Structure 1
Amino acid sequence: MTDFWIYAALLVLAGMLVMLWPVWRARKQHHVDRNALNVALFEERVAELQAQRDAGELSEGQFVATRDEASRLLLEDTEETDQPRLPFRPSRAAGILLLVLAGLLPVAVVTLYNTWGSLPALALYREIQDQPEPQSMQEVAERMQRITSIQPDNGEAWFMLGRALLSTRQPQAAVAAFERSMQVLGEHPEILAQMAQARFFAADNQLDSRAVAALDRALELNPQEPTALGLLGIASFEAGDYPAAIQYWGELLKGMPPGSDGARSIESGIERAQRLLEQGDEPAVDQAELQLRIELSLAEGLADNLDVQQAAVFLFARELEGEGMPLLARRIALNELPAALLLGPEDSMLPGTRLQSGQRLQLIARLSPGGDVMHSSHEGRVAEVLLGDDQVYRLRVEIPLQ
């Protein structure tokens, strides 16, 4: 911010010079204008004498004598002007007033800037110029928090803050951000759906009455709102209302690209709901038959210089073939490692995920310094694991990602 104050000081100095310039210029101009006037009068007088001489009104002797007298008077006037004298200047009160105003100018500028300007806004603007794209969702959240503190009526910034807080697993704070966004922007289906989703996560994956009301209103405004359809499908499935789950997920599927990872996951949920609807609830399966035993660790020195409150490891299990959407996923804080853990049905990405004992999967763990699953620095893999196997799979995060 040093250069800002330097430029501000230069501008204030320029303003002070503009205020004092007329006084200095008036003093100089008075001296110059007096001599110029005397010379002009002398030249005019000589021209008149020449005209009289040419007309025969004056003899040559009279002309010379009169001209010499005019020259003597000009010389006296010029010498008188050059003698020290009190300079021309405005009244004493006016001079004092100008000096006081010039002195008050910097104070007025600083006061007005503190009233109407904003150093935090300037600092944020420069940060955005230097780093347009934050490196993690945590940085996005921090930037949006600064923007909303400077611009509390920026509804879009509140919405983006809510999304970032939701991504960094701060659902309670995300609810407040979405509510503030809706106060500014009014009821929008996306805001309503995101707020309901935040309430869903804050309530341990349960939809309360306010969340359901928000989702219903979102679908009134936009019957194809994807977040609302997905959440209501989950709630219906968990409540055993399989026809409603099939209906919500079917509507959601219409707006998804055919064959995409998300579409395949929704199709799997619909198939599971249809099967349960036709055959009744499936017999209980021993949870131990659907779990993976894992020992997860980081390579030595990999956690050095990382923020333990922000960095995290994301653990995935997905189908053996391809790079589709994970079936199971869990976020593990850096300070929890190394860890021995069980990955199972409770870590399913979506209700209705079909798991079978002995199912072949691949196991992946990725380190994210910023806590954002989309930005990882290292990973570890186990090429093939068997669901429900008694074997303990050792997974070490150590491979750099480009």
Structure 2
Amino acid sequence: MIDLWLGAAALLLVAALMMLWPLRRRQRMDRVDRTALNVALYEERVAELEAQARAGDLTEAQLAAAKGEASRLLLEDTATADARQAPLTRQLTWLVVIAVLVLPLAVLGLYRQWGAADGLALYREMQATPQVDSLEALIDRTQRVVKVQPENGEAWYMLGRAYISAQNPEKAADAFGNALARLGEQPEVLAQLAQARYFANGNKLDAESALALDKAIELDPQQPTALGLLGIAAFEADDFAGAIRYWQALQQGMAPDSPGAQAIQGGIDRARQRMIDAGQTPPEAPVLLAVKAQISIDPALRATLPDDASVFVFIRDPNGPPMPLAAKRLTLADLPLELSLSEANAMLPGVHLSAEQPLELVARVSLDGDARSGTHLGRVDDVHAGSDQVYQLVINQPVE
């Protein structure tokens, strides 16, 4: 911050000089102007007297006396004008000096009121140390970000996630509420807000949290946080069938052998056992037809693209609308990767895949994260859901 204050001091010095210099110059000009006027009047009077002497109207003695009187009047007029001007000049000088002294204080006060010293200090800190080394440091930095930028919804969301990690659900709920107010009804924000309120309420789902979860599912039927929390709430309310349905839907968006999918399967198994113990028939696991694919990218092309570039993999009806039937978002760092696309990855509710339906499998690389644009793609035609075949899709074509 030293450079900021040095720069401000330099600007204030320039401003003071700009205020004092015209005053000094005016004093000098006023003195010169008054003297020149009096001298001109004196010379005009002397010329008039000499003309009268030449005309014989004045004797030599009278001419000398008149010239002496004119000289005396010149001196008196100059002194009188200076005496009248001196108090005004002194007053104006003091006013300017006071203004010069008050200006730095006024500027400092206004900067403290409306300036962004905290924001500048935070920006420089983040430039110097982009990554923090502890959760406490992350919370502290994000708190300062939202203080400087209270309308930054993304910062409020990050603060909420940090509070959740620190097991402080009350503050997390407040942060997610601020994020929701600024970002609008986004599924992830709604789900995180409901989860924070659930934990803060002693692992109970209140009416506001339930509404937030319903809205999140409405906007994104595969929202994982919402599905997981709804399954937990249903299980604790002894609605084991509902818990199974929510968790099965959540499981469809995961790789079958992933730790998350296995954990969800453990919850499903416990819910099934509870239903069996109560003499109830558990719901059958849904059978979803899927397109299996091995996604890769041409090595020469891969070397020219960044790791964080988005890769959108989707299936669509080649004879239908351009909207994908199901899609997943990856990054180039994930490739090569084997995955499956099914109704669980549907873009809209009500999507149904059949084994007879010919589909088109596409993977598109996007540098700006927009699924509608891209730089390169790969395509496989005539693929079928439910087939045991693993389709090989290589990204190797430029987008035309």
Q: Which band: TM-score by shorter chain?
A: 0.5 to 0.7
Q: Matched residue of 1:359: which SS?
A: coil
Give the Cα separation in 2 of the matches to 1:381 and 1:202: 42
Q: Provide closer, same or farther for how the CA distance between residues 372 and 233 of structure 1 changes in structure 2, counting only shifts above 3 A.
A: closer
Please say if 1:381 is aligned against 2:375. no
Q: In the TM superposition, what is the alpha-carbon distance from 1:35 to its structure 2 partner?
A: 4.2
Tell me the equivalent position of 2:153: 158
Tell me the equivalent position of 1:295: 294
Q: Matched residue of 2:24: which SS?
A: helix
Q: Is the 8 A contact 1:45 1:70 kept in 2?
A: no
Mapping of residues 122-133 of structure 1, within 5 Å: none
For structure 2, the residue ranges without an aligned partner over 5 or more in a row are 80-85, 121-142, 162-168, 198-202, 243-281
Q: Provide closer, same or farther for how the CA distance between residues 393 and 200 of structure 1 changes in structure 2, counting only shifts above 3 A.
A: farther
Mapping of residues 249-398 of structure 1, within 5 Å: 290-304=289-303, 306-308=305-307, 310-350=308-348, 352-398=350-396
Give the Cα separation in 2 of the matches to 1:327 and 1:202: 33
Q: Provide closer, same or farther for how the CA distance between residues 301 and 311 of structure 1 changes in structure 2, counting only shifts above 3 A.
A: same
Q: Is the 8 A contact 1:12 1:105 kept in 2?
A: no
Give the Cα separation in 1 of the matches to 2:210 and 2:53: 108
Mapping of residues 46-65 of structure 1, within 5 Å: 58-59=57-58, 61=60, 64-65=63-64
Counterpart residue identity of residue 295, structure 1:
Q
Q: In the TM superposition, what is the alpha-carbon distance from 1:325 to its structure 2 partner?
A: 2.7
Q: In the TM superposition, what is the alpha-carbon distance from 1:355 to its structure 2 partner?
A: 2.2
Q: Is the 8 A contact 1:319 1:327 kept in 2?
A: yes
Residue-pair matches, total: 302
Q: Provide closer, same or farther for how the CA distance between residues 114 and 366 of structure 1 changes in structure 2, counting only shifts above 3 A.
A: farther
Q: Matched residue of 1:384: which SS?
A: strand
Q: In the TM superposition, what is the alpha-carbon distance from 1:113 to its structure 2 partner?
A: 3.6
Q: Provide closer, same or farther for how the CA distance between residues 230 and 39 of structure 1 changes in structure 2, counting only shifts above 3 A.
A: closer
For structure 1, the residue ranges without an aligned partner over 5 or more in a row are 82-87, 123-144, 167-171, 220-225, 242-280
Q: Matched residue of 1:302: which SS?
A: helix
Q: TM-score, normalised by structure 1?
A: 0.52
Q: Provide closer, same or farther for how the CA distance between residues 324 and 200 of structure 1 changes in structure 2, counting only shifts above 3 A.
A: farther
Q: Provide closer, same or farther for how the CA distance between residues 30 and 350 of structure 1 changes in structure 2, counting only shifts above 3 A.
A: same
Tell me the equivalent position of 1:37: 38
Q: In the TM superposition, what is the alpha-carbon distance from 1:292 to its structure 2 partner?
A: 2.2
Q: Provide closer, same or farther for how the CA distance between residues 181 and 292 of structure 1 changes in structure 2, counting only shifts above 3 A.
A: closer
Q: Is the 8 A contact 1:291 1:344 kept in 2?
A: yes
Q: TM-score, normalised by structure 2?
A: 0.52
Q: Is the 8 A contact 1:16 1:105 kept in 2?
A: no
Q: Matched residue of 2:299: which SS?
A: coil
Give the Cα separation in 2 of the matches to 1:175 and 1:379: 41
Tell me the equivalent position of 2:27: 26
Which deviations, in whole Å up to 9, do the C-alpha atoms of 1:73-108 show, x marking residues without a partner? Answer: 799x6xx99xxxxxx9988xx89x94x986996797
Q: Pick from 208, 211, 217: which aligns with 1:213?
A: 208
Counterpart residue identity of residue 35, structure 2:
R
Q: Is the 8 A contact 2:19 2:100 kept in 1?
A: no
Which deviations, in whole Å up to 9, do the C-alpha atoms of 1:218-263 show, x marking residues without a partner? Answer: 99xxxxxx87755699989x9989xxxxxxxxxxxxxxxxxxxxxx
Give the Cα separation in 1 of the matches to 2:172 and 2:369: 16
RMSD between aligned residues:
5.9
- Structure with the larger RCO, 1 or 2 (CA within 8 Å, 6+ apart): 1
Q: Is the 8 A contact 1:366 1:376 kept in 2?
A: yes
